[in-house]
Amino acid sequence: MTPLEERFEVWKDRRSCGSCTMCCYVFEVPAVATRDYEWCRHCRVGVGCGIYETRPEDCRSFYCLWRMGFGTDEDRPDRHGVVMDLQDRLVDGQLVVRVWRPRQLQERRLRSAGLMVREVIETLTRDGYAVRAESHGPRRGNDGSVS
């Protein structure tokens, strides 16, 4: 297991999703024919997955950075407006924090999102990784950062 995989193992269950279902909106999951920024047809919004026991591997293995323990309780993606995750492999020698801003929520809590990104970057930098944030969604900043 790589040091990064060990980090994932330690972090992945620091919180539970509760009634948040935001990743079922922002991500495309090919196995269930979803599209970015559309609710998956199996999602019971604010409740959970309608096919939880048989959900695809992509869904089983997804942990956002809030669930991994970053940010405050108020930063849960459905309250906070932003979903963030960490790619599990290096890209050009860097770890990539992906920041997803759903269209209808993009104006909310952006300062708080910026603090959370900073917390993630500082933690991983202390581990010796080079880290960059990458913004996804309808409105992308020129430098890819959350502002």
Say how far apart CA 34 and CA 17 lie, in whole Å: 20
What is the rounded CA–CA span in Å between residue 124 and residue 44?
Answer: 34
Size of the site for ligand SF4 (CB under 6 A): 24
Q: Is 82 in the site for ligand SF4 (CB under 6 A)?
A: no
40 sits near ligand SF4 (criterion: CB under 6 A) = yes
The residue range among 56-64, 112-120, 124-132, 137-145 that interacts with ligand SF4, by the rule CB under 6 A, is 56-64
Residues 9-38 within binding reach of ligand SF4 (CB under 6 A): 17, 20-24, 29, 32, 34
Structure-block tokens of residue 21:
């279902």
Tokens of 113: 């999102």
Report whether 62 contacts 23 (CB < 8 A).
yes
For position 66 contacting ligand SF4 by CB under 6 A, the verdict is yes
